[in-house]
A and B are shown apart, each in its own frame.
Chain A
């Protein structure tokens, strides 16, 4: 052991740690500036997310080449971590190594293999970036990514050269055969130069690592540290739930969404710092893909830039004048383009929750600034006054059930086994009514004890909430929870995935706890139990997953069971949790689609491309949007709710049974 290298390494380490800490402390203080967010529950779920998404790289591996590329680099670095320590020991004393681990042949082999994989990953990354050039990188900092990749390559190459020179000098503590690549490289090294090469390589290696460490917190590559943190604090259950605004809090503490960076929660701050600009969100975004202003990636990047610009001002003074996020970071159009479909959230490998940002911006625009697409105003007023978004008379709510002998639950009556929560669209919309009628008929057919609330059912408030009007939403929620609790309802069926999500995932925050099932789940159960007998027909059916059913709530298989008993199934390219929105979510149902191409037509074209003759849906909003889309595009498709399809299959079976009895 010699003193000079130890001293030099010590100085370098102190400088690196100091530079790193300076930035890291600022970032930490910016996160601590954030408003509270409840993300400390469900520890097992968080550990599971960490294991699957971070260690298992599940979201990245959804795309094979980029996924393997990233996994190689990520897993490689996990294996190579101890070599940082080994190299530092090597600087101080070339004849020492990390006790035990540094002497293991097996570890030397793993290092050789994974270092090679990292190098292969870097090359693959360059191929993706320079040859494939996927559109998802549009707007990302491309030069910075190249620098980072070269940096990684440098770290691995110097590691190989160092190992090779040690083998050439017989300094290896493990049998050289255990490190085949380094051994091969050692053979080509000039014997006389080897001692010098060994010193240069180990110093270059350690300096590259330390400078990389310092560079990280100043760069978009901060995700190396923050991805694991952000995934850990992500939503583990009720992914479709929004955090309620606490209007009961002291007035200065009520958070009306986000006006400036000072209003963001700490989780949102970690979100924006974690972004690595990979663009997977942008790639799947229905708004971006139909030529609208919103790109979830550019939204998060713009918020990050504003956090870094305004955050330090907010830290310096509580009364600092901060720029409004809208229109400073993003325009009003960006905020209103979102359909809250959650495709971006699901795709994001680092656990960014874009919808929370959008909804917070909307909450501020709507509740504080009164600034929103004018045409949506009547929906908000009608939910508030008429309890449905179209201003229809509540007295007409049960009119769809005329002649069906459906029990309307009266106050004080004993609750039914299941309450059929019809929803506004199936109650009032001529096209969506069909699903309510079919569902009621099938429930009767199977002998289910059910009832509806009729005029006592009010809009769940979902469109108001997704627009940012939390007042109207909470008023609706409290009213409905009071009605349901007073009626002693325990189990609820809905045909509308938005009602399903709101009652099932959000009403618990207002004291409403029920078992909520979607009609497709319930009907599939009846088919499985043999209470509904079916016969498949000739239809060629493609099923459109509703975002609030499949992506936000994982209802995927039951609708497909219903398709299977009704006809021939054919899948669209974008299906299950990676479905593509119809364009109605996030209250977009009640706004004009003025920018870009219509989302519904895009989806209808995808459906028509399967060669199906029937486009099955499980959501009244999807029904209206896609039926409109079929008319606009002239596609040869019939849009029909799964309940109506099942109804046909049950009818077909009855007729076939009768025919066989007769013959």
Chain B
């Protein structure tokens, strides 16, 4: 969903605010530039004088609407699942990772509302079938083009993301250094998996925070999680508990991770991990 795409959810709420619905198609705007879109929307709104502005509650929808709200000094409620027109406008919106429903009042003659997809039953009703395309030409300030998508770059690390990988090979304090992760990366590469790490590793600066598995990092659920030199603190286990199988490689047989591991190899990971890689190579 992009701003401007009138989804069924958006229409369901917007219909309550009037029968004259106008859909603004923004997708043609390339490259994506939130300030530029917001500035155009502000001009359109000045022109059409709508009683409310709706958009899809996608990341881009919320971003553009937040900017529109800021530049037009209008109240903005994101992630609304219900809305009643009136003075003030009453909206119900999802908070707290959708665990809480908040009723909020918007004191304005032109509230801005975004509607998250797939969150409530849509109601059938008048759908603008007759497409009447009106070209709108507005000048975009150079300053509003400063923030834009110039290039899409895939995340480093072999292209397999931590959350989607079937195999995650993770390293902890036992790896010893930034360079020590070479053997972890090698094994992950051979298995077509992603590299993860524990909190100690990111605080030491050996790996970026996006690689961190745990309560305060990424929560993952791979088919197999290979934990190398990770003691298994609760905060770490909270991130990998949903792995189907956990293989622990650790010098300390008493490490807490042994309680959660399905398989364990007790010993020096610097010998064991390269040995596994060598075996895999041999069998291919």
A residues with CB within 8 A of B? 370, 375-382, 384-385, 389-392, 425, 428-432, 471, 590-593, 598, 624, 628, 631-632
* B interface majority secondary structure: mixed
CB distance from A380 to the nearest CB of B (A): 7
Residues of B within 8 A of A370 (CB): 95-96
| Cβ 8 A contact of B99, one of A375, A381, A392, A631 | A381
User: Are B100 and A628 within 8 A (Cβ)?
Assistant: no
- Name, among A380, A430, A431, the residue most crowded by chain B CB atoms within 10 Å (CB to CB): A430
User: Are A384 and B203 within 8 A (Cβ)?
Assistant: no
Across the two chains, which residue of chain A brings its CB closest to B209? Answer: A592
Please measure, in the bound complex, the distance between the C-alpha atom of A378 and the C-alpha atom of B219, giving whole angstroms.
9
Residues of B within 8 A of A382 (CB): 238
User: Are B241 and A375 within 8 A (Cβ)?
Assistant: no
User: Are A598 and B203 within 8 A (Cβ)?
Assistant: yes
User: Are A376 and B216 within 8 A (Cβ)?
Assistant: yes
Residues 223-260 of chain B, each 1 if its beta carbon lies under 8 Å from chain A, else 0:
00000000111110110010000000000000010010
Across the two chains, which residue of chain A brings its CB closest to B202? Answer: A592
Residues of A within 8 A of B209 (CB): 592
Please measure, in the bound complex, the distance between the C-alpha atom of A380 and the C-alpha atom of B95, giving whole angstroms.
12
B residues with CB within 8 A of A? 95-97, 99-100, 173, 199-200, 203, 209, 215-217, 219, 231-235, 237-238, 241, 256, 259
User: Are A381 and B234 within 8 A (Cβ)?
Assistant: no
Please measure, in the bound complex, the distance between the C-alpha atom of A110 and the C-alpha atom of B215, giving whole angstroms.
65
Residues of A within 8 A of B95 (CB): 370
User: Are B200 and A430 within 8 A (Cβ)?
Assistant: no
User: Are B203 and A425 within 8 A (Cβ)?
Assistant: no
CB distance from B249 to the nearest CB of A (A): 17
Across the two chains, which residue of chain B brings its CB closest to A589? Answer: B235
CB distance from B230 to the nearest CB of A (A): 12
Q: Top 6 nearest A-B pairs by Cβ distance?
A: A430-B256, A375-B216, A429-B234, A390-B238, A381-B97, A592-B216
CB distance from B192 to the nearest CB of A (A): 27
How many contacting A-B pairs (Cβ < 8 A)?
64
- Name, among B209, B216, B233, B259, the residue most crowded by chain A CB atoms within 10 Å (CB to CB): B216
User: Are B235 and A390 within 8 A (Cβ)?
Assistant: yes
CB distance from B198 to the nearest CB of A (A): 11
User: Are B234 and A377 within 8 A (Cβ)?
Assistant: no
User: Are B97 and A430 within 8 A (Cβ)?
Assistant: no
User: Are B233 and A590 within 8 A (Cβ)?
Assistant: no
15 further A-B pairs in the complex, CB-CB below 8 A; given A592-B199, A592-B209: A375-B215, A379-B215, A380-B96, A384-B96, A384-B99, A390-B215, A390-B237, A425-B234, A429-B233, A429-B234, A430-B232, A471-B100, A590-B216, A628-B200, A631-B231
CB distance from A390 to the nearest CB of B (A): 4
User: Are A624 and B216 within 8 A (Cβ)?
Assistant: no
Given A381-B97, A385-B99, A631-B173, A375-B217 contact (CB < 8 Å): yes
User: Are B259 and A430 within 8 A (Cβ)?
Assistant: yes
| Cβ 8 A contact of A430, one of B199, B217, B234, B238 | B234
User: Are B96 and A391 within 8 A (Cβ)?
Assistant: no
User: Are A624 and B233 within 8 A (Cβ)?
Assistant: yes
CB distance from A605 to the nearest CB of B (A): 16
CB distance from A592 to the nearest CB of B (A): 5
CB distance from B260 to the nearest CB of A (A): 9
Across the two chains, which residue of chain B brings its CB closest to A430? Answer: B256
Please measure, in the bound complex, the distance between the C-alpha atom of A1 and the C-alpha atom of B96, giving whole angstroms.
76
Please measure, in the bound complex, the distance between the C-alpha atom of A377 and the C-alpha atom of B96, giving whole angstroms.
8
Please measure, in the bound complex, the distance between the C-alpha atom of A370 and the C-alpha atom of B209, giving whole angstroms.
22
Please measure, in the bound complex, the distance between the C-alpha atom of A69 and the C-alpha atom of B200, giving whole angstroms.
47
| Cβ 8 A contact of A590, one of B100, B215, B237 | B215
| Cβ 8 A contact of A632, one of B200, B219, B232 | B200
CB distance from B261 to the nearest CB of A (A): 12
Residues of B within 8 A of A628 (CB): 200, 233
Residues of A within 8 A of B200 (CB): 628, 631-632
Across the two chains, which residue of chain A brings its CB closest to B239? Answer: A378
User: Are A624 and B234 within 8 A (Cβ)?
Assistant: yes
Across the two chains, which residue of chain A brings its CB closest to B98? Answer: A381
CB distance from B239 to the nearest CB of A (A): 9
Please measure, in the bound complex, the distance between the C-alpha atom of A375 and the C-alpha atom of B96, giving whole angstroms.
13
Residues of A within 8 A of B235 (CB): 390, 590, 624
Please measure, in the bound complex, the distance between the C-alpha atom of A218 and the C-alpha atom of B227, giving whole angstroms.
62
A-B contact pairs, 25 of them (CB 8 A): A375-B216, A376-B216, A377-B97, A378-B219, A379-B215, A381-B99, A384-B96, A384-B99, A389-B215, A390-B235, A390-B237, A391-B238, A392-B241, A429-B233, A429-B256, A430-B259, A471-B96, A471-B100, A590-B235, A592-B199, A592-B216, A593-B203, A598-B203, A628-B233, A631-B231
